A = this chain, B = another copy of it.
């Protein structure tokens, strides 16, 4: 049972390769191939289960039917969930996904873009690290659609899907203030990315309005989680006046909860807690944790549908879509009113 080629089909049916190719590519009508022949070829193809080689096709057309997905780390539950949803929708349209974890590393990301590019990836979904503006702009100039999400690069004019970070953080902080908390920390990963800047800004705005003092801790990311947990623990221990904390991302929240557990702090009596992103751990923590939930389904849906649209229409001329989605503050017990 050797692998069939278009040529074999043509031979078997005593017609030309071209005809088969046209039919395969759905241009039979405009090439004025008879209904009857189309039918005959299609039936035969179905019978023998022929599928044209995507590689040969790719070499010829420069298309691959592959979408490149670049996120900070595929093991992060936020990105993993998004990846899963995107995979599903892309698959239905005949696209496969090659994914890469950038580690938020500029050089690595540049190299990854190269790698994907030489595989003729048709479109890119990127949660970009800083510093890759040039490379992404080159993709766009080459007519390849790029959709950013989670964060964006202000200097790059292309579609993106993000959440309203500033408002979300401001809202959560203000909520803590209204609950009676006064010494509210913001703990997050150090980052120059838009989403973290927005969260920080929202936090500061809410505090300033009330004339409260900010306490900010930036965690240096390391793969050794223990080190980060210890960092948070030391920060909390060094600032006993704190009565509440807002975590700027799920990993920060997860490190923070571990630190809090180690310090045997009672939530919310000793320390109220809110974290960005929602996850099982927040629901199941000893005191369920109030979370700023991102609309993950909606993000994934928007991202992939924008990309598929660009891919189908080839309309890279259309104005970039800049989608900002709302988050939802899921109030749980970790942020009940201070006594």
Contacts and interface: CB of A to CB of B under 8 A. Distances in A.
A226 to B, nearest CB: 12
A12 to B, nearest CB: 20
A98 interface: yes
Each complex incorporates copies of this chain amounting to: 2
Interface residues of A, number: 43
Contacts of A285: 284-286
A289 B254 CA distance: 16
A29 B283 CA distance: 62
A125 to B, nearest CB: 14
A96 interface: yes
A18 interface: no
Interface stretch (A113-121, A155-163, A301-309): A113-121
A101 B120 contact: no
A293 to B, nearest CB: 15
A257 interface: yes
A266 interface: no
Contact of A284 (B118, B119, B284): B284
A80 interface: yes
A75 to B, nearest CB: 4
Interface string A83-106: 110011001000011111100000
Interface in A181-196: none
18 contacts: A51-B114, A66-B98, A73-B84, A74-B74, A74-B80, A74-B84, A75-B83, A76-B80, A77-B77, A84-B101, A96-B115, A96-B119, A258-B284, A261-B284, A280-B281, A281-B284, A284-B285, A286-B286
